[in-house]
Amino acid sequence: MIRQQLGRNVRTLATETSKIIKKTSVTSLLTPWCELQQDYYDSGILTRRTTLAMKQGTKTHAKIEKIYELPFESVIIEVPVLTFQDRRSTELLVTYGKLCAITQPSIAKSPTGLNTVCEVKLFGHLSGCDVTGIIDAVGFGQKSPQDPPKIYLRELKTMHGKLEVSQSQKAAARLQAMVYYKLFNGLADGSFSLPDFLTRQGLQLNKPLNPALLEAALESNVISSPSQIKNFGELAKLVQTAFSQFEGMVSEELCTEYINDAKTGVTYDKYIFDEEIISSFLSDRVQLFLKNREPRGVPASEAFKCRICPFSPRCPVTTSIAAGLPLPQLSEPPKLLFTQID
């Protein structure tokens, strides 16, 4: 297998069939702080450092999440993970446990009355990229007695200070939830094959699972017997089957929940999945990965990012702003018109 580094977060794999597949995470695919800055890091012009402010930000967000901790169901499997195959096996077992738990009547309910599990790992293939990500909350149930049971996806965003959400923050979170919708649906309707994805990652489907992992899954009631899953490929099929019970049931109603540390409440942003919006956004991003367009600097509304950017003194965007010239955008980003729900 030939491996070529395209960037820090996006790689190209030439598989045995010579089909070019890139892999990335939902976060890298969707929400770069600034494409131009990302490009400077990827090309080695800048060296990425974890600043004190970034460390503080991570701590603050963990604290906020704790304040608002919701009684969502968790499946925890704790074993020393030694290999990449062990790591993927653990993720798949936890995902399987959560997908089984969500239909149980005894599971924790969200304030909307839906059975809810948090942090569900998803996998998929979008615009030529293999993509992985974690959706914050997955709800299952009926919103009213006349509705059929459905899956409801929700993203959780933590904020420091006032609960003021800008349009660009909302747009980024909405796109993220729409990507999770596509990943969940692809797994549920079988248009995305989890075993094929794992094979592309170089994992061996016929390899037996780590016995310590099976033991931990048994203790967590994720499986009923260690002989239930003979190898990694069987685990992948089991997880895909668990997703397929929700085929045609993933609601197009999506939600982002914003919470802050000032305890001034929770804000919900509800909107409808839109294939046209997400396709137009993804094809624009993929053009960047394929090097068919140049990375863009931040728009004028996000010029605050340049004040804390290490590349600022040399960046053509800040030079233009200082000289009062139009920003040197090489191409226009797509216009995205979301459908909001009240």
Q: Using CB under 6 A, which residues numbered 261 to 300 contact ligand SF4?
A: 297-298
305 binds ligand SF4 (CB under 6 A): yes
- Which residue in 24, 28, 37, 260 binds ligand SF4 (CB under 6 A)? 37
Q: In the complex with ligand SF4, which residue's Cβ is closer, 122 or 317?
A: 317
Least Å distance between CB 294 and ligand SF4?
A: 12
Q: Is 309 in the site for ligand SF4 (CB under 6 A)?
A: yes
**Candidates 30-38, 128-136, 173-181, 208-216 — which segment interacts with ligand SF4 by CB under 6 A?**
30-38
Q: How many CA atoms lie within 13 A of 307 on its CB side?
A: 5
Q: Are 137 and 69 in contact (CB under 8 A)?
A: no
Choose among 229, 185, 231, 244: nearest CA to 205.
231
Least distance in Å: CB of 293 to ligand SF4? 16
Q: CA angle 240-243-249, nearest 5°?
A: 150
Cα distance between residue 260 and residue 266, in whole Å: 7
**Position 216 contacts ligand SF4 (CB under 6 A):** no
- Residue 317 sits in the site that holds ligand SF4 (CB under 6 A): yes
Burial classification of residue 205, based on how many CB atoms lie within 10 Å of its CB (0-12 exposed, 13-18 middle, 19 or more buried): middle
Per-residue tokens: 119: 């942090």
Q: Is 311 in the site for ligand SF4 (CB under 6 A)?
A: yes
Size of the site for ligand SF4 (CB under 6 A): 13
Choose the binding region for ligand SF4 from 80-88, 128-136, 252-260, 301-309 (rule: CB under 6 A): 301-309
Q: Which is nearer to ligand SF4, 248 or 313 (CB)?
A: 313
Considering the complex, what minimum distance in angstroms separates the CB of residue 324 from ligand SF4? 16
Whole-number Å distance between alpha carbons of 235 and 228: 9
Q: Pick the closest to residue 24 from 232, 283, 286 (CA basis).
A: 286
**Of residues 138, 239, 246, the one with CA closest to residue 193:** 239
Q: With CB under 6 A as the contact rule, which of the stretches 176-184, 250-258, 315-323, 330-338 interacts with ligand SF4? A: 315-323
Are the CB atoms for 157 and 257 separated by under 8 Å?
yes
Query: Should residue 306 be labelled a site residue for ligand SF4 when binding is judged by CB under 6 A?
Result: yes
Distance between CA atoms of residues 308 and 325, nearest Å: 21
Q: The dihedral of CA 185, 193, 76, 98: what is its sign?
A: positive
- In angstroms, rounded to a whole number, what is the distance separating the alpha carbons of residues 271 and 254? 5
Residue 11 in the binding site for ligand SF4 (CB under 6 A)? no
Query: Which residue stretch of 34-42, 117-125, 158-166, 281-289 sits at the interface with ligand SF4 (rule: CB under 6 A)?
Result: 34-42
> Contact residues for ligand SF4 (CB under 6 A)?
34, 36-37, 297-298, 305-306, 309, 311-312, 315, 317-318
